[in-house]
């Protein structure tokens, strides 16, 4: 059902088509399993040969694809998925490849890769396919970094999703971890890391000068 709705959505959305590539922007995606939803910057559909059945330990790439190589487990673990999907209004099979745009440069840590992998896992659930890789495009360096959705990244993504839900149910957020990265963060107006530091400093000073 979810896959059917998704296909309709792709059909209605403005899309850019070349011979072996379709680009769709701003797709709304979600995963009931991860409890996540959002919107993609760009999903590329690369023309593929007859889809392969992916099982644990295989990539979803077929011959002729600009493959992101590497061993990985399909999603959900152990379930067999096709490596490419059919799309409405076009012939053939298409491999799903999410692309996320970032204004800055690659960050230390895996945050961008986890975000992209979460998108891939949403797309897998909605399209009932296997997504083996995607790409991060960094505006500052004009570099496109290909990312393989291997089992380690998938596990990290699941753990992050679980931690987010635990944080939401606990009703508290961790304190801001202010640093140079904040200058490029889209959440800075909500997070206000510098103000938090001022508040923390004030609490500290108040405690020092309190009567007890
Ligand atoms: S502004 Fe807040 S959320 Fe963004 S990087 Fe800084 S501490 Fe993290």
pLDDT, tens digit, 9 for 90 and up, residues 165-187: 998 888 877 778 888 878 878 88
Range ranked top by mean pLDDT from 2-11, 51-60, 92-101: 92-101
- CA–centroid distance, 42 to ligand 1, in Å, is 24
Residue 137 has a pLDDT of 94
What is the pLDDT, as a whole number, of residue 150? 95
* d(C-alpha 97, C-alpha 145), whole Å: 13
Helix (H, G, I), strand (E, B) or coil at 118: helix
Q: Output 76 or 168, whichever has higher pLDDT.
A: 168
What pLDDT digit, counting tens, does each position of 114-169 carry? 999 999 999 999 998 999 999 999 988 889 999 999 999 999 999 999 999 998 88
Cα(8)–Cα(20) distance, integer angstroms: 21
How many whole angstroms separate alpha carbon 71 and alpha carbon 75? 13
- Tell me, in angstroms, the distance from the centre of ligand 1 to residue 69's CA: 33
In a 10 Å sphere around its CB, with 0-12 CB exposed, 13-18 middle and 19+ buried, how is residue 87 labelled?
buried
Contacts of range 201-210, beta carbons closer than 8 Å, 24 or more positions apart? none
Residue 191 CA: which ligand 1 atom is closest?
2
Residues 80-123 have pLDDT tens digits of 678 899 888 889 999 999 999 988 888 788 999 999 999 999 99
Decide: 181 in ligand 1 pocket, CB within 6 A.
yes
Which ligand 1 atom is the nearest neighbour of the CA of 185? 4
What is residue 199's predicted lDDT score, i.e. its pLDDT? Answer: 62
With the most atoms of ligand 1 within 8 angstroms of its CB, the residue from 173, 193, 194, 197 to mutate is: 193
**DSSP symbol at 176:** P
């Amino acid at each position: 059902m979810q896959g059917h709705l998704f296909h309709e959505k792709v059909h209605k959305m403005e899309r850019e088509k070349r011979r072996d590539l379709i680009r769709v922007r701003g797709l709304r995606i979600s995963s009931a399993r991860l409890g996540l939803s959002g919107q993609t910057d760009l999903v590329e559909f690369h023309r593929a040969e007859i889809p392969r059945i992916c099982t644990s330990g295989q990539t979803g790439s077929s011959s002729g694809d600009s493959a992101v190589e590497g061993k990985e487990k399909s999603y959900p673990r152990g379930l067999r998925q096709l490596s490419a999907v059919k799309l409405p209004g076009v012939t053939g099979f298409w491999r799903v490849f999410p692309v996320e745009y970032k204004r800055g440069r690659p960050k230390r840590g895996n945050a961008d890769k986890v975000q992209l992998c979460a998108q891939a896992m949403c797309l897998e659930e909605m399209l009932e396919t296997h997504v083996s890789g995607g790409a991060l495009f960094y505006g500052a360096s004009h570099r496109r970094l290909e990312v393989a959705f291997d089992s380690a990244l998938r596990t990290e993504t699941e753990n992050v999703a679980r931690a987010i839900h635990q944080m939401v149910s606990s009703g508290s957020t961790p304190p801001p971890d202010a640093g140079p990265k904040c200058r490029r963060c889209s959440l800075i107006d909500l997070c206000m890391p510098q103000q938090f530091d001022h508040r923390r400093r004030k609490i500290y000073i108040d405690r020092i000068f309190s009567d007890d």
